[in-house]
A and B are shown apart, each in its own frame.
Chain A
Amino acid sequence: KAGVTQTPRYLIKTRGQQVTLSCSPISGHRSVSWYQQTPGQGLQFLFEYFSETQRNKGNFPGRFSGRQFSNSRSEMNVSTLELGDSALYLCASSFEGADTQYFGPGTRLTVL
């Protein structure tokens, strides 16, 4: 079974731009979560989607948004990029009723 895939793997943007990251969960998984990893803050929860609905949201500004499509694929968007948004963005998927999340390889975003 294919794992969680994320595209693109690397991205360079400048301040003020916006960016969209994509995640395809493991087949059959309908829950998709997004996390931000930075050296100072570690892994922090951004939001979770299930059946195209946002089920939970972390403590991030409104510039961070996401959505999920009917095939469970998910996208996250960051608008008006700031230098501090430079991070590894990780997507994870879960099978509803199971206890474990499986992570993709991440998208490394650099904001200049």
Chain B
Amino acid sequence: DQQVKQNSPSLSVQEGRISILNCDYTNSMFDYFLWYKKYPAEGPTFLISISSIKDKNEDGRFTVFLNKSAKHLSLHIVPSQPGDSAVYFCAARVTAAGSYQLTFGKGTKLSVIP
């Protein structure tokens, strides 16, 4: 039973265009969401997060949108750069549980074509 789903295993985007990565979740107890970027043979690197009390959070080229009614979040990267090519993981947490346990999606491999 996958509680966090990233339905697109891969995505290719031209340099300079927008990349949109999607994530769906089923557990309504999740109230904090994070995006991580991962290169091969490295650990995930934190990108951006959003609390369920917000519907948008921006940090430079990265924006995360949360639609609680649809249990859907998305990561927008504008403009996309070749260095953004990596696997992106969506993760969710139940903050009231008092634990830092994260539930991850299986990732989307983004390729930015020069």
**Interface residues as binary, A91-103 with B (CB distance below 8 Å gives 1, 0 otherwise):** 0101000011111
Nearest-neighbor residue (CB-CB) of A90 within chain B? B43
Q: Is the CB of A100 within 8 A of B104?
A: no
Cβ distance A94 to chain B, nearest Cβ, rounded Å: 5
Partner of B101, one of A56, A90, A100, A106: A56
Cβ distance B101 to chain A, nearest Cβ, rounded Å: 5
Any B CB within 8 A of the CB of A33: yes
Chain B residues whose CB sits within 8 angstroms of the CB of A103 once the complex forms: 36, 43-46
A1-54 residues at the B interface, CB under 8 angstroms: 4, 6, 31, 33, 35, 42-45, 48
A94 CA / B36 CA spacing, docked (Å):
15
Chain A residues whose CB sits within 8 angstroms of the CB of B101 once the complex forms: 33, 45, 48, 56, 58
Q: Is the CB of A100 within 8 A of B49?
A: yes
Q: Is the CB of A42 within 8 A of B107?
A: yes
Give the interface of B toward A (CB within 8 A).
32, 34, 36, 41-46, 49, 51, 89, 91, 93, 95, 97-107
Cβ distance A69 to chain B, nearest Cβ, rounded Å: 18
A61 CA / B36 CA spacing, docked (Å):
27
Q: Is the CB of B46 within 8 A of A100?
A: yes
Nearest-neighbor residue (CB-CB) of A100 within chain B? B46
Q: Is the CB of B45 within 8 A of A42?
A: no
Nearest-neighbor residue (CB-CB) of B4 within chain A? A42
Partner of B102, one of A6, A45, A106: A45
A45 CA / B99 CA spacing, docked (Å):
11
Given A42-B105, A102-B46, A106-B42, residue A31 in contact with residue B89 (CB < 8 A)? no
Q: Is the CB of B43 within 8 A of A105?
A: yes
Chain B residues whose CB sits within 8 angstroms of the CB of A66 once the complex forms: none
